[in-house]
Structure 1
Amino acid sequence: MNLNFSTGRILLGQHELQVRLQASKVVMTVLPDDIRLLSDARLLLADAGAVRWQLTLDDNEQLQQIADFYGIEVE
């Protein structure tokens, strides 16, 4: 599944989520088990131990689409 947002694309795959930022040409990857979604701040949080990053999404609909795809709860 492919989601476009204001600064790039989010690619949802069965085994990983990729964020591709257009301006900086950065690709960030996380396993679905290492994802948290926070609705108040529209945050996608990736925490894989030593590697952590966060991304603010455009709207809550994007959060819900990610949650539905991976079967996880939005906090």
Structure 2
Amino acid sequence: MVINFAQGKIVVSMQEIQILLSATGVSLYAMAEDIKLMRSALTLVADAGAVRWSIKLDSIEQFDDVASELGIDG
């Protein structure tokens, strides 16, 4: 599934997620098991030990789409 958001695109499958930031050309990647979702902040957090990143989504609909595709309760 591809989700467009203000900062670029989110490419998500049951196994992994990629964030493609259009303004900077930066790509963020994480396996699904390394993703946590913070509903109150509309934020995705990737924590794979030494590598951590987070990104704020634009809407609850985007959040729910990501959570559904990853099979994670947000």
* TM-score in terms of structure 1 length: 0.94
Letter in 2 for 1:40: S
Give the Å deviation of 1:32: 0.2
Which structure carries more helix by proportion?
Answer: 2
Describe the SS at the equivalent of 2:24. Answer: coil
In 2, Cα distance between equivalents of 1:30 and 1:41: 19
1:70 CA drift (Å): 1.3
RMSD over equivalenced CA pairs, Å? 0.8
Q: Which runs of 5+ in 1 are unaligned?
A: none
Return the structure number with greater relative CO, CA threshold 8 A, min gap 6.
Answer: 2
The 3-state SS of whatever aligns with 2:46 is strand
Contact 2:14 2:71 in 1 (8 A): no
Deviation, structure 1 residue 27: 0.3
Q: Percent identity among equivalent residues?
A: 41
Give the TM-score of the pair, scaled to structure 2: 0.95
Gaps of 5+ in 2: none
State the match for 1:12 in structure 2.
12
Equivalent-residue separation in structure 2 for 1:48 and 1:10 (angstroms) = 19
Q: Larger strand proportion, structure 1 or 2?
A: 2
**How many residue pairs get matched?**
74
